[in-house]
Structure 1
Amino acid sequence: MGIMGYLRERMGKILAIVIGLALLAFIAGEVIKSGSSFLKGNANEIGEVNGETITYTDFSKKLDQATQQFRQQSGQEITPQITSYLQETTWNQILTQELLNKQVNKLGIVVGEAESQSMISGNNPDPQIARQFSDPQTGEFDKAKLNQFLSYLQSPGADPAQLSAWNDFVVQVLESKKIQKYMSLVSGGLYVNSLDAKDDYMAKNKLVNFKYTNIDYASVPDSQIKLTDDDYTTYYNEHKSAFKNEQELRSIDYVSFNAAPSKEDSAAIKTQVEKLIPDFKASSNDSLFVQINSETKSPLIYQHKGQMDPSLDSVMFSADKGFIYGPYLSDGSYKIAKLIDSRIGPDSVTARHILLNPTAEGGLDKAIAKADSIKKLIQGGKSFAELAKTYSVDKASGDKGGDLGTFGRGAMIPTFEDAAFNGKPGDLKVFTSQFGVHILQIEKQKGSSKVVKVAVVDKPLIASSKTQTAAYNKAQSFLSTANKDNFADEAKKEGLTIKKADDINGTANTLAGLDNARDVVKWAFKAEKGDVSDQIFTVGDKYVVSKLTEIKPEGILPLEVVKKQIEPEVKNMVKGKQLAGKFQTALNNSSSIDQVAQKAGSKVVPIQNIVFANPVIPGAGPEYKLVGTVFGSQPNKLSKPIEGQQGVYVFTVENFINPAELTNAVREKQQIGQMLMQRSQGQILDALKDKANVKDNRAKFL
């Protein structure tokens, strides 16, 4: 029984780790954004990497595993935002694994038989394996537990599902080792020499003092600037690399019609709840009443102050038994609450238990009879701890003598909590729950405070069919008249606000102002620019009609797509030329920065102790071009006009302050090397991704 209990405790974690081991820690959060337009192709082909097909079946399997792992580890509800995150993460993992596996295979990187054996069953196994077989008290690897587990897997009675999961786990561990070797091989080629160390040292420690005068771009009104096509083209050509689109993006305009509950709907549901009050007050079986009449079937448990809805907290601890509160609106539902009981009870309990499985014992009656026999043995002096190790099917506690530690209210299921908190230290109880038959011993009880048991009946506040129909009819009327040419005019006529969702990727689940809008996204990636949706989308409590306004294809975006986006920068470029001309005129026949400033109508600003590695001008922000030019200049010479981030500058260097000479470059080289190593792994993936031919068909599947 011991090994089976251990398996039940550990296999869940091992199964979860199988999912994540396809990537190393350094690439777990790496985001590879690759995409293409909506493609035709194999009905099961969700993507392709360098000619290798990624099937939807494989992707879906990995996504299900990732979702289960997330749910187990976080306990959170899977929201549309989380779904989108998991889809993107799963896709990135598959792409990364395909890219790295190709390199591993190309170089012939392997994990030998002796190395594999050492990683799996050696004295110092792979960390992923060691963590699963560590002592929970010390955190140290327990070789005996690993050997026991491996022996079990080789036995005839081994569970095939557990054996399969373990084999998958081992495969991923070995694949992960190959990737480690590849990364080490590539990053091992990095080298930092003494000149690199000296340059880095000077960039961080050499100081410069200078004076500058400047005129901000904002000083020239936009109304005075007239942009030409040549202006746009010049800026675009100089910054073309900045307009690389990693995946296809689309933008929509949309209008929504509110189908949320009306005042009449709210009043009707409130009345419905009010009608339950007389029967609720007269009920002698409150638990059954809640099960029959409430939308939320919550168990009735004792709670202390601070655990309930604030509105109940303020009244129930001073009310009499049978008191009815409500109707009140909370969390989108109308509710009524009844005080069933109140008492003074402990805040926490220390206990231990033995759990019997009725099925294994031949039925519930036999399990209870066996529990009574074990109880008599304990009362007769037998060791509870030894009996727990022998009989309890809850091996997580059984291996510790049945110890459950100390727990507060709400930590256990209601039946167990009632038994533990409604007794006194030393009590030995036999009772049943959905898990089986328990022999519970209360060891300690701490604290003392008032607790209440409150039954709550709720009815969700939802829109009536009348409200929904009215909103839908308005949406239908708009859809029947709107087209690509009059969408905005029709919206204005109906008093509707047009909202925008820009730069949507093909797998998005949420849009600006819309949750769970996957259907809208799928339509957008099938539509042509200018199309108005041919259907009304239901998104939460809204009906939505949309128009596709923009398609940004993968690759370098054309000028016409980014023209509006770059307009502010193009204006600054044109202003910069004007201001540079003004400064050039001021520089003529000027011998000092003060003369230049006087002619240009600007001020002189002294700057102290600037370093090349941190090119920030106090009060102005980052000025990379300015500071870079300063460090390449000679003292006491007027510079040419420099078109910076915020405006145009002219400067003169007063002096440089050199740091003490770098006599030992070892530490500096180590620091640079560590930084390069940290960056190299991500850059390796970036390089592989840029070189790869990736097709992304997710938009038509998800």
Structure 2
Amino acid sequence: MAALGKIRSKGSILVAAIGLALFAFLAEEGFRSCNGIKGEARQQIGEILGKKVSVQDYQKLLDEYQSAIKFTMQRDNLTEQELNQVKDQVWQQLVSNRVLEADAEKLGLTVTEKEVQNVLNEGTNPMLAQTPFVNQQTGRFDVNALKQFFDSYNKAKSARSPQVEQMQMVYDYWLFVEKNLRSQLLSQKYQSLLASCILSNKSEAKMAFKDNNEESQIQLASLAYSTVKDADVKVTDEELKAKYEELKPAFRQNIETRDIKYVDFQIKASSADRNKVVKEMNELQKQLATTDDPAAIISKSGSVISYLGLPVSSKAYQQYPDIASKIDSLAVGTTGVTENVQDNTLNIVRVLSKAQLADSIQFRQINVAAATPNEARVKADSIQKALAGGADFEVLAKRYGQTGEKVWFTGQQYESAPSMNQDNRTFVNALLNGDVNATQNLALTQGSVILQVVDKKAFTTKTIAAIIKKLIDFSKDTRSNAYNKFSEFVAKSTTLADLEKNASKSGYQVQSLNDLSTAEHYVAGIHGTRDALKWLFEAKQGEVSPLYECGDNDHLLVLALSSVHSQGYRSWDDVQVKDILKREVTKDKKAEKLIAKLKGVNTISAAQAKGAKISSVNQITFSAPAFVQATGSVEPALSGAVASTPAGKFSKAPVKGNAGVYVFHVQKKTMRAGSKYDETLSMQQAVQMNMQLVGNFMQDLILKAKVVDNRYLFF
């Protein structure tokens, strides 16, 4: 009771304490919740139809596409530019698929397993021709080859065969193809449904035939807008606003964009830096010319071209055009040090050997594994003896759990490799130098391989060359000096006005870039500017960024956000919009002057007397805009006016065009030679033309999907 009384006496304090504790608990949970929401937001790469797209989902698709490309191109990696193209393609495909699937679901459109199987059985879909399951004799996809592969894959997987890893790549590629095939079929269904809504009739068909085939020959009088001086035309803001209302749909933008001012300074080697590199290369040239171990010299030199020690074609150097263009013409020996200004490098080439070798080699093999390499060699010897005695290669291969099937090997599969171990080098050399139908027993580190070259094609010049390509790079001191100077400039430039004022004083140039969107991969085409992009789309107008070190560690960058263009219609006084409006109003006013000048003119000679240029224009049709050489412009309005004017008549009124004002006399009208009206064909062509007019339906669906692209935050 005493304790209870004590608690009661402290009641108000306890209530306050409990309240504070409860608040702390709720605050903690709220903090966790906010962190969770922020954490989740940080994992969202975009939004489609109101649904978030996680970075994990996008990365998975990106990995699938990369694997498919590497598989089809037989390459281990992609260049940065290629990877950026893949990123864009994957995103566009993701958006298109999700938007189309959502609309198809509303319509009840699906792709059934039976429909997919029918496509596989027919084997004519172009996508299937890009798979390994093409019959070499017919050149068409063979569904039975696919079924046989699945059977072999499942058996190898159950038996945990060493071949599973290689087969897995083919299996994954097929899943990629099948998924895209389903998307393609759904898209075709949707388009077919849309096409069935587009109709034509006999009257439309006749008009379309006439528009396409009735040719007019005219005498044309042209007065170009350039004959009126810009200084003679005054444009007011009220006129610009009126023109803006007329053209407003043209100024709609579907995504937010931003304009920037920026200063980019590229660090380059000083004279002292250059002299040092030249001295190093002269010494390396002497060493490379006399060494018995070119690989060691190349490795030590820091060359951007690795040494494979294998014969390669000039295609192996496509990334280095200067080397690719001359490698085949170089004799065995070592060149002097040469400079390539285009890529800012010094180069030395030592050609060790040249030969005419096959670029496509068909072979088959039996991998021989055992507890030890010696045991593997013993097994390999017995297999080779059996083959020499007339044993069937494929039968022996199956005895060792392999198919022994014939496969093709091309130069592309090894020539671009950045490095190669000795086992792979031994294997490739055996393929390149092996005689057709001869059997080779290759003793490798982990086992042995029985190899038989079956066929050789596409002989070409292949060269074993050791190449030192070394950048004429700047030193640490040069970079440090450049950084300190640029850093001081950035520190003083806290506003856009300061940036522009201080740039010229410091020897820098301010440049402009307009309409950057979140779909950009770089700022101003400079590598390594993702942090700058992140800043750009979080900054407020007028802000100046911190200093960014980017490029290949050779660029110093600072930018200022000069304008933000929100999604929707740009205002009439936007700099770019205003420039367009001014051109259009100016053109309208010049047209008024020239039309007034031609008032009452009803003959070509009268127009000539007013200063018009006279020319003959032939084969004008309504469906194909006329090109007027006198004004250097395509003029659709002229084609329409000519089509509506009978033969032998003068134009009813001057025609206002893109580059001038025109009057004309129609000399004659004839149907195009060989044209013959086919009602059924003309109706089909009219439908196709109408389909083209609605062919941008996908863009309309995407526009309504309110797509948000935040890839710049992650990639």
Q: TM-score range by the shorter chain?
A: 0.7 to 0.9
CA distance in 1 between counterparts of 2:535 and 2:325 reads 44
Alignment match, 2:223: 215
Alignment match, 1:157: 158
Q: What is the identity, as a one-letter code, of the residue corresponding to 1:63?
A: L
Q: Is the 8 A contact 2:332 2:350 kept in 1?
A: no
1:190 aligns with 2:198: yes
Alignment match, 2:569: 556
Q: What is the identity, as a one-letter code, of the residue corresponding to 2:596?
A: G
CA distance in 1 between counterparts of 2:316 and 2:118 reads 51
- How far did 1:127 drift? 7.3
Please report the RMSD computed on the Cα atoms of aligned residues, expressed in angstroms: 4.3
Pick one of 667, 671, 678 that aligns with 2:681: 667
Q: What is the identity, as a one-letter code, of the residue corresponding to 2:145?
A: K
Alignment match, 2:377: 368
Change beyond 3 A, Cα 1:566–1:86? farther
**Superposed CA offset, 1:115-173 (max 9, x none):** 566567x6879875686543233234444434434556777828899688877765665
Pick one of 569, 572, 583 that aligns with 1:568: 583
SS at match of 2:260: strand
Change beyond 3 A, Cα 1:140–1:87? closer
Q: Is the 8 A contact 2:437 2:453 kept in 1?
A: yes
Q: Is the 8 A contact 2:572 2:578 kept in 1?
A: yes
Q: What is the identity, as a one-letter code, of the residue corresponding to 1:361?
A: A
Q: Is the 8 A contact 1:641 1:648 kept in 2?
A: yes
- How far did 1:426 drift? 7.6
Q: Which moved more, 1:273-282 or 1:528-537?
A: 273-282
- How far did 1:651 drift? 3.5
SS at match of 2:42: coil
Q: Is the 8 A contact 1:302 1:409 kept in 2?
A: no
Q: What is the identity, as a one-letter code, of the residue corresponding to 1:157?
A: S
Question: Mapping of 1:289-438 within 5 angstroms?
Answer: 289-291=297-299, 294-295=302-303, 296-302=305-311, 309=323, 317=331, 319=333, 325-329=335-339, 332-336=344-348, 342=353, 347-348=357-358, 355-357=365-367, 360-384=369-393, 386-388=395-397, 390-391=399-400, 393=402, 395=403, 398-400=404-406, 414-419=425-430, 428-433=439-444, 437-438=448-449
Alignment match, 1:520: 532
Q: Is the 8 A contact 2:45 2:55 kept in 1?
A: yes
Alignment match, 1:492: 504
Q: What is the identity, as a one-letter code, of the residue corresponding to 1:470?
A: N
**Superposed CA offset, 1:583-640 (max 9, x none):** 33xx2xx553433442x33344444442111221441431122332333346635533
Alignment match, 1:229: 237
**Structure 2, unaligned runs of 5 or more:** 1-37, 318-322, 418-423
**Superposed CA offset, 1:356-415 (max 9, x none):** 445x4223222222111122223333344654565585x5xx223x88799999699542
CA distance in 2 between counterparts of 1:447 and 1:83 reads 30
Change beyond 3 A, Cα 1:166–1:143? closer
Alignment match, 2:478: 467
1:578 aligns with 2:588: no
Alignment match, 1:98: 98
Q: What is the identity, as a one-letter code, of the residue corresponding to 2:100?
A: L
CA distance in 1 between counterparts of 2:385 and 2:582 reads 86
Q: Is the 8 A contact 1:475 1:543 kept in 2?
A: yes
TM-score, length-scaled by structure 1: 0.79
Question: Mapping of 1:33-72 within 5 angstroms?
Answer: 42-72=41-71
Q: What is the identity, as a one-letter code, of the residue corresponding to 1:522?
A: K
SS at match of 1:612: coil
Change beyond 3 A, Cα 1:492–1:648? same
Q: Is the 8 A contact 1:214 1:648 kept in 2?
A: yes
Q: What is the identity, as a one-letter code, of the residue corresponding to 2:241?
A: T
SS at match of 1:226: coil
CA distance in 1 between counterparts of 2:681 and 2:388 reads 69
Q: Is the 8 A contact 2:316 2:416 kept in 1?
A: no
CA distance in 1 between counterparts of 2:525 and 2:178 reads 45
1:532 aligns with 2:544: yes
Change beyond 3 A, Cα 1:435–1:672? farther
1:639 aligns with 2:640: no
Change beyond 3 A, Cα 1:560–1:436? farther
Change beyond 3 A, Cα 1:369–1:554? same
CA distance in 2 between counterparts of 1:405 and 1:399 reads 16
CA distance in 1 between counterparts of 2:266 and 2:197 reads 61
- How far did 1:521 drift? 3.0
Q: Which moved more, 1:182-191 or 1:626-635?
A: 626-635
Q: Is the 8 A contact 1:426 1:443 kept in 2?
A: yes
SS at match of 1:239: helix
Q: Is the 8 A contact 1:615 1:624 kept in 2?
A: yes
CA distance in 2 between counterparts of 1:125 and 1:137 reads 15
CA distance in 2 between counterparts of 1:445 and 1:116 reads 38
Q: What is the identity, as a one-letter code, of the residue corresponding to 1:200?
A: A
- How far did 1:543 drift? 1.0
Change beyond 3 A, Cα 1:176–1:664? closer
Q: Is the 8 A contact 1:525 1:699 kept in 2?
A: no
CA distance in 2 between counterparts of 1:657 and 1:645 reads 27
**Structure 1, unaligned runs of 5 or more:** 1-38
- How far did 1:202 drift? 0.9
Aligned length: 646
Question: Mapping of 1:111-126 within 5 angstroms?
Answer: 111-112=111-112, 115=115
Change beyond 3 A, Cα 1:83–1:566? farther
Q: Which moved more, 1:490-499 or 1:291-300?
A: 291-300
Alignment match, 1:509: 521
1:479 aligns with 2:490: yes
**Superposed CA offset, 1:468-490 (max 9, x none):** 11211221122122221232222
Q: Is the 8 A contact 1:346 1:445 kept in 2?
A: no
Q: Is the 8 A contact 2:367 2:450 kept in 1?
A: no
Q: What is the identity, as a one-letter code, of the residue corresponding to 2:331?
A: F
CA distance in 1 between counterparts of 2:236 and 2:638 reads 27
- How far did 1:692 drift? 3.1
CA distance in 1 between counterparts of 2:184 and 2:315 reads 47
Change beyond 3 A, Cα 1:104–1:239? same
Change beyond 3 A, Cα 1:625–1:408? closer
CA distance in 2 between counterparts of 1:424 and 1:119 reads 42
Q: Which moved more, 1:69-78 or 1:223-232?
A: 69-78
**Superposed CA offset, 1:477-511 (max 9, x none):** 22122221232222222332322222222121245
Q: Is the 8 A contact 2:68 2:176 kept in 1?
A: no
Q: Is the 8 A contact 2:364 2:453 kept in 1?
A: no
Q: What is the identity, as a one-letter code, of the residue corresponding to 1:376?
A: K
Q: Which moved more, 1:264-273 or 1:654-663?
A: 654-663
- How far did 1:421 drift? 5.7
CA distance in 2 between counterparts of 1:607 and 1:174 reads 51
Question: Mapping of 1:421-460 within 5 angstroms?
Answer: 428-433=439-444, 437-441=448-452, 453-457=464-468, 459-460=470-471
SS at match of 2:598: helix
Q: Is the 8 A contact 1:254 1:545 kept in 2?
A: yes
Change beyond 3 A, Cα 1:40–1:670? farther
Q: Which moved more, 1:102-111 or 1:64-73?
A: 64-73
CA distance in 1 between counterparts of 2:613 and 2:360 reads 75
CA distance in 1 between counterparts of 2:290 and 2:440 reads 32
**Superposed CA offset, 1:70-122 (max 9, x none):** 344344964444343323222221221121111221122234565566567x6
Q: What is the identity, as a one-letter code, of the residue corresponding to 1:317?
A: A
**Superposed CA offset, 1:547-599 (max 9, x none):** 22332222221111111244333322222222223333xx2xx553433442x
Alignment match, 2:14: none
Q: What is the identity, as a one-letter code, of the residue corresponding to 2:557?
A: V
Alignment match, 1:203: 211
Q: What is the identity, as a one-letter code, of the residue corresponding to 1:644?
A: G
CA distance in 2 between counterparts of 1:128 and 1:278 reads 53
- How far did 1:545 drift? 1.8
Q: Is the 8 A contact 2:528 2:550 kept in 1?
A: no
Alignment match, 1:8: none
Q: Is the 8 A contact 1:612 1:628 kept in 2?
A: yes
Change beyond 3 A, Cα 1:403–1:289? same
CA distance in 2 between counterparts of 1:333 and 1:181 reads 55
